[in-house]
Structures are given as C-alpha cells and as structure tokens.
Structure 1
Amino acid sequence: MRRLLTVLVLAVPLAVAAQAPAVTVDVDRFQLDNGLDVILHRDASVPTVTVNTWYHVGSGREAPGRTGFAHLFEHLMFEGSGHVPEGAIDTWLEEAGGGANGSTTRDRTNYTTDAATNGLELALYLDADRMASLLDAMSPESVDGQRDVVKNERRQSYENRPYGLAFSVLGQTLYPASHPYHWPTIGSMDDLSAASYDDVVDFFRTYYTPNNASVVVAGDIDLDETRALVQKWYGSIPSGPEPPLQPIATPTLDREHRLVLEDAVQLPRLYLAWHAPAAYAPADAAMQALAGVLAGGKNSRLYRRLVYELEIAQDVSAFQDGDLHSGTFYVVATARPGHTLDEIEAVIAEELAAVRSEAPDGRELARVVNGVEASFLDGLETVDGFRGKADQLNAYLFFTGTPDFFEEDLGRFRALSPRDLTDAAMTFLTDRRVALSIVPEGAAELALTGSETAVPLF
C-alpha cells in the first residue's frame, strides 16, 4: 500500500502537466525596411507599457585589447541623444510614471523603457532617438566621463568586493585568450583607458543599428496604433553594415585546473566550473534541473549534506549559465570556520559520483520541475522589467528565432526524465574543470590541495 501511494504521488505532477493548457503569448511580429525586428504584445491587465530593446552585441563581440565597449554603451545610452538633453530621459519618464534601465551580457545589451499607458509614444521616441542620433550628443568628454564611471563600477563590483574576481578568473581559465568569453563583460582597466574616441564611435556604428536589434512593445497598447508609432519613430533610421561574422570554436579543457586566489575575505570559498550546453541547446534544461537537485533549496543533496548534516559549509549553490555559444555549470560553496575546502570538495565529489551512477528519483525531479514551472508562470504576470514577458520575448527571439517559445521552453522541463539528468552529469561533469579556491590573504594553505596561484587577472 505504501509503494502504491508513492507511485500515485509521483504521478500527480505528470498528470497535471498533461492536462495543463498550452502557454501561449499572442504576438504581432513584423520587420521594418531597415531590418529592425518588432514584436507587439497586448496585455491590458495593468495600464502600463514597456519598450524593450535588444541590441545583438555584448562583450562577446569585442576583441582582445578592445574590451568593455558594450558595457560602456549601456551607460552612454542613458546620457542623452541628438534631441534629448542630458538627464532628460529620467526626468521625462518620471513625469510619465515610468523609468528606464539596461544591462549587458556576453551576447546582448538590453534596454527597458517603462511608462503609464499614455506615455507610450514618449517611450518609443526616447528609445528610437538614441538609436538614430546618440553620436550627435556624444563627445570625447562624455565618453571619458562614463569611462570613469565604468572604471569605478569595476572597482566596486570586482576588485573591492569580496570574492568579486572569481568569475573573471574562471572565465579566463575556461576560455582561451582568442575566445570572446575569455574576458569579463565590464572589460579590463587597461582596455578602457586605451580606447580612443574613434574606437568607441566605430563600435557604435557597427553594432547599434536597426538591423542588429529587436524591439518589443508590450502592455496596454492598441496594436494598429502602436505599429504606426513604431514606423513613425524607427522607420527612417538607416540600416548599418552587417555585423562581421564571428567564427567561434567550441572551448575545451584537457585537464583540471586547480587555482588559488587570495582576497580580502574571512572564509575560504570553492568554485567548481565546467563547460556546459549553450542556452536552449540539448541538455541545457537537464543541467538546470540537475543544479536544482544538487543545490536548489534546503532539501537538495548538497545543501542537506554540507550545510545541515555535516555542518562544514556556510552555504552552497549550483547553477547552469547558458550563453549563445557555450555554457558553464557552477557549484559554489563557502566553508564554515574550522573546516576546509578539501572536506567540502570530497562531499561534492561523492554526490556528483552518485548522480552519475544512479538517476535521481522521481520525487526529486518533480520538486525541481514544479519550482521551474512556478517561477515560469510568475514571470508571465508582468510585461516590464528584466523578468517580464517583453524581455522574455526578446530573449526567445534572440536565442531560438521564435518569440513565442513559452510552451516549448516549459516543455523542455516537463519532458525530462531522471535518466536525462544522469546522462547530462556523465557528459559534462567530468574531471576536466576549473577548481578555484578564494582564501583570506596570506592563507594560501587553505586552498584545495594541489592548487596553483591564479593567472594574472584580465
């Protein structure tokens, strides 16, 4: 009887998933003559609108010696444009009940402009004007000003933040110097200092063009009226050159790299990193689910053993980070006082060996998939910001070529079997990895046994 009840409990999530209605988001997609991809989505549940623009350029489009440009433009794009004075973007949007923000990754730069419904044309105007005439307002002085802001941000977020250099070291070790994921998105201090004004202008003219961008307009909109407004404000912007082709070899590691970095920290922390699938590639969903089984919440395997039972770690996390050309899988754990990273690594090794040799049980997978689905549906409740539908539509278009990929995305997780997670672990979580120990200054002996001093930072 107990076995039967277990079978019935495990069957419930599958039955619910089978009966759940398909997740669809109605979109009106078209392309302007200048190559700009446009996606409209009406959601009148709240009287707000958002204009979400993706430029298909991030730090991965930069070149050695010329890094940090994409992130620099994330800042410059808020400084004003040909017909928008410096500081007016924030002032005008606040008066319209909205605001603006932006972010940069290895693969793209996005901008979101939000407003009350009656601020739609203002949001479109502001976004289109910086695409059309940013260079008219840009000067060597404005570039130098934002260059200094970015340098200060790098100091705050990297050099002066505890453990802040971890992902820079991991990236430059996982990827060779010729690979565009080798350097951090924020760029290096030397490259930011060395960049000339003409270098920055050339970068803008190459990548910040309508034919290298996509715009999502979502919210409480009239589709016909919005289509006309998009044509009005973006239609006359000339196309730019086709961005150069970017042949990128698949990165590999031939062995484990054990590195140690001394930092102004109190407790040692271990970072394990492996090459993993790109975003939306086969096994990307399996690796995301595996991260949840290993360290997703207090019932996960690593949290239960490291933090709760053995009490040798302060915290532990695992996550799959898929980019356009590749991905990285991370396990990160901080030692408790009196315990070592060798202790922690031994337990992680045991749990990875266990998941490679035997598939997780159905209950573990159901817990993770249910959490993914809950978070997924929560994201459908809003259109603005970086977790709303507008940004997700742009992400799906960029990574899959299909803006309404919602049902297919969720289906990747609903279709997973426990064996898929074991297969993914056997394929990707091998001995070829980077093991980085960050330890207090002067305490290199607290690193994993056999660690070497980290290479000079990019």
Structure 2
Amino acid sequence: MYKYLIVLVCLLLPIEVHAKQGEIQIDAKTHTFANGLQLIVVERDWSPTVSMVVRFKVGSADEHPGITGSAHLLEHMLFKGTPNMGTTDYAAEVPLMAKIDTLGHALTAAIDKTRKPLYRGDMKEVDSLKAALADIQNQQKKYIIKDEFWETYLKNGGSSLNASTSNDGTQYYVSFPANKIELWAYMESDRMADPILREFYSERDVVYEERRLRTDNDPGGKLEEQLNAAAFTSAAYGWPVVGWASDLETVTREEVNDFFHQYYAPNNAVIAIVGDVKFNDMIALVGKYFDSVPPSKIPPPPVQTTEPEQKGERRLSVEYDANPEMVIGWHMPGGGGIDQEVFDIVSSLLSRGRTSRLYKSLVEDKQIASSVYAGSDFARFPSLFTIWVTPKAPHTLDEVEKAIYDEIDKLKTDGPTKWELERTRNQIESDYVRGMQSNLGMAFRLEDMQALTGDWTYINKLKGLREKVASDDVKRVLAKYFIKDNRTVAFLVKPDSTSPKQEAAIDPTKGAAK
C-alpha cells in the first residue's frame, strides 16, 4: 500500500525530496546491467551511512499448490550461507546433504501414504525416517558455522538487518557504515549466485512452527487466512504467504532450490541503495560483484490465473476461543489500476484518525466498537479492500456490521466534503514523506514501486492522480465496488456461539455478555 505526501516536504527531508510543481522530487538515478539487474541510487551525504535493499520480484503469488510457502521458506534459507560462508568444510557437507535429500524424499513419500484413503494410522515409517533424518542433520552440524552471514553483518556495523516476504515480493535489507558497502556487495552477490540450502528440513520445521504460532494459534491470523481462501477461489492470493501446513510438511529441498533458481536471479531483481555514496561508484561496485551472476535459464513465467467476477456475497465464521472480530473484504483493482487512487482516499476517509467516518461513528459516537481499520492494497494483481472491526462489549457483530454499511451508504450518497478530501490527501502524503526521511525508508519505497509497476517514478503519478480525486469519484467507486455481491465477510466467533451475527464481545469487568 502506498501513501505519499508533499506538505512541508522541504522542512522534513534533505534536498533530494522536495516540492516542485506539485510533485515529490527524488533525485534517484538508475542503471540496468547486462544480466537484467536493475539498480536505483539516491545520493545522500548528510551522514556516513548507507542502506541497501535487494528486492526479488517473487512472492507467494508465484507459487503453486504443493510448494506454497516456498518464497517465505527461502527468506529463511538465504541466511544459511554459501559454499564460502556458513561452513568450515563445504566438501565434507556435500555427501551428508545428499543423504539428507534422499531421506527427505523418502519422508515425503511416507507422509503422502498417510494421506491416502486406505491409510490405517501406522506412523512407524514416518517416525523412523524423521529419526534417521535428524541423525544425519546432527552429523552435518559439526561443519556448520551458525549464523555466520548474520554475525558478519553485525560485527561490521550492520543494523536493521532483516528480510521479509509478501504475496508479491521478497526483500533483504541492511544499513551499514558507508565504508563497508563493498562487504555488502560481496555477501549479497555470493548468496544470489550460489546459496546452499543447508539445514533445510530443520528450518522447514521452524517455519511450520511459525505458521502454528502466527496463524493456527492466532485468532486474527486464522481469520485473515480464511477470508482470503474464501474471497480468492482461483487467484494466487488465496493461499497464505507462510504456506499451507500440508505443503510445509512435504516440500523438498530440490523443489525449493528449483524455485530459487527460476525466480531469484538478477533479471528478476531490483537493488536500491540510498546514502553516502556516488552513483557512478555504485555502478562500478555492483557491476564488479553482480555482473557475473547469470540470469535465470528459465525466465519467471507470468501469473496467468485471474479471479473470476464474484457473483454473490460470501459469509463464513471461524471458531476460536477469543473475543469476536469481523473482517469484510471487497475485490478491488491491482496496484496502478484504474481507481487505485480513489481506494487510497476511501480507506483514509473511513478510518484514518479520530475524525474519520468509521472511527467517529462506531468508536466515539455509538461506542459499539473498540477498534476499526480500513485498508486499500497496492498489489501486483486485483486484491481486497478490507475493513477490520472489533465490537465493544456488550455489542454484537451484527450491530457493527450494520453500522459499517450505514456509513458506507452515507458516503455513497453524499460523498466526502471538500475539507475531508483535503485532509485525507494531506494525511496520505505526509505519511509517505515521513517514511522517506530515513535511508532505508527511501530505499524500500523506490524498490517497491519499481518492482510492482516497472517505474519508480510512478510515485509522482499516483500523487497527481490522488490530487484529482473528487467527491463524485468516491461516490462512483463506492457504488461500483462496495456492493453485496462483491464482498466476503468473515466472523471470528467462540466455538459455542449459536449465531455469528449475534456474537457479542465480553466485558472483562462483567464476564460473558448476555
């Protein structure tokens, strides 16, 4: 989701981000290497630091059933090292990893047997293979230098070191003293060229546990997963970024390695560098280390499957022993599509700040909700505009749902006031400019827009489009998209609830709501 702002920009940021003729001016320079790698550089000399983001244009949307969660798994695996890092003796590791692969395939086949209709509950083979796999993995550990990649960055002044994965992309990022940037170039090019997915099966178990904690045992995570699964019947946004549990049990190292070599290549990557550097120096440095990394032999294929038009409201309930919650999702266009800018305005009108429509009505005036949030998405493909709400005891999901539709209908009929539109635009742009004050924040926004649209300067175009949004545009978009047939409604209810719509929040001072 993209939010940008021009108000007081000259005071907020150094000179490379400044107001001129109604645009955000960013003095970014770009270069594309022969292997397809795209480089974006912003020179900032006001502190001797630099931030780098390596963005691969691949996320969970590029997976398929059977290997869901692979992009997120690779987020973890690329910290495991290469033949040059993370090991005391790579040659000694090779035969052990071959044995691990063989056992991994056998384990997958054994687990698959347990899923067949004639399976009668014998887990001896699965348990035996897991034990054998653990034994070989323990033998490999004596050659592994744990977290060497991570520790090398930190020992040399690295900060904000991390990685993240979404439906649409995977990014690895770090901030460094400017005089250490060559170390970054060596390490990142090394793992782009030849990562070793060591400790794959034990790390797969770690990710499985992460899924259990953040989705299966988290009410909000479970609600979101079920909403997306119901709203997207064919499009790739229907499965979770962390992957389905059954896939995490059986995906093999070779499958994930093949996925890496097709998608995690220079021709599918963007590097953003912001800080105390010179553009020409960065071309030379990145070229020195990344030029030799070959593009993928099989170019990443486009995602062809699209979501058909929804032909009726979908409603579902998720049972969980927690206070009730609700999320409503309406299908909306992909990032950069027609009316994207209007959805950004609508999300702010509805829930940004204490004067927003839903907050003022549900939280302050009627006091039937403890929280409410509306969000539009800037995604590669058509996605969802969502509203999350938690009822306030003793009020019910039915009450807050009706109140949300009432406020949307008012906005459909009357549209926003001129003051509301101006305030909303200022809020959006202000948030974006604040985000670009840091080197890392600037790098994130540049690489993200470049990866999603193919042109980082779309930042300015989107701002210009938002400035033109009028009250009639808001009414038109609400009338077109915010309709019953286009929405999916998911309720979080207690297991003993008789009716999701009548589920009430619990007042902790009074016990269960009646």
TM-score calculated relative to the size of structure 1: 0.89
Instruction: Specify the alignment match of 2:495 in structure 1.
Output: 441
Is 1:126 the counterpart of 2:127? The answer is: no
Instruction: Specify the alignment match of 1:395 in structure 2.
Output: 448
In 2, distance between residues paired with 1:18 and 1:130? 39
Q: Deviations over 1:386-405 (max 9, x none)?
A: xx111111112122221233
In 2, distance between residues paired with 1:362 and 1:260? 39
- Give the superposition deviation at 1:52: 0.9
CA contact (8 A) 1:260 1:447 kept: no
Instruction: Specify the alignment match of 1:27 in structure 2.
Output: 28
In 1, distance between residues paired with 2:380 and 2:273? 24
TM-score calculated relative to the size of structure 2: 0.80
In 1, distance between residues paired with 2:80 and 2:252? 19
Instruction: Specify the alignment match of 1:262 in structure 2.
Output: 319
Instruction: Specify the alignment match of 1:138 in structure 2.
Output: 197
CA RMSD, 1 decimal: 1.9
Instruction: Specify the alignment match of 2:216 in structure 1.
Output: 159
Q: How does 1:264-343 map to 2 (within 5 A)?
A: 264-265=321-322, 267-343=323-399
Q: How does 1:52-451 map to 2 (within 5 A)?
A: 52-85=53-86, 86-99=146-159, 100-134=161-195, 137-139=196-198, 142-176=199-233, 178-240=234-296, 241-265=298-322, 267-384=323-440, 388-432=441-485, 433-447=487-501
* AA matched with 1:447: K
In 1, distance between residues paired with 2:169 and 2:53? 13
Structure 1 counterpart SS, 2:330: strand
Instruction: Specify the alignment match of 1:41 in structure 2.
Output: 42
CA contact (8 A) 1:128 1:233 kept: yes
- Give the superposition deviation at 1:186: 0.5
Moved more, 19-28 or 193-202: 19-28
CA contact (8 A) 1:50 1:123 kept: no
- Give the superposition deviation at 1:379: 1.8
- Give the superposition deviation at 1:28: 2.4
Q: Deviations over 1:24-72 (max 9, x none)?
A: 2122212222111122221112221122111111001111122000000
In 2, distance between residues paired with 1:258 and 1:299? 30
In structure 1, runs of 5+ residues without a counterpart are 1-12, 450-458
Structure 2 counterpart SS, 1:23: strand
Find the structure with the greater CA-based Rg: 2
CA contact (8 A) 2:266 2:293 kept: yes
CA contact (8 A) 2:270 2:447 kept: yes
Distance 1:445 1:22, change over 3 A: closer
* AA matched with 1:41: V
In 2, distance between residues paired with 1:444 and 1:219? 58
Structure 1 counterpart SS, 2:236: coil
Distance 1:19 1:40, change over 3 A: closer
- Give the superposition deviation at 1:273: 0.6
- Give the superposition deviation at 1:377: 1.3
| Percent identity of equivalent pairs | 30
* AA matched with 1:123: W
CA contact (8 A) 1:50 1:115 kept: yes
- Give the superposition deviation at 1:20: 5.6
- Give the superposition deviation at 1:342: 1.0
In structure 2, runs of 5+ residues without a counterpart are 1-6, 11-17, 87-145, 504-514
CA contact (8 A) 1:27 1:404 kept: no
In 2, distance between residues paired with 1:366 and 1:82? 56
* AA matched with 1:362: K
In 2, distance between residues paired with 1:18 and 1:38? 25
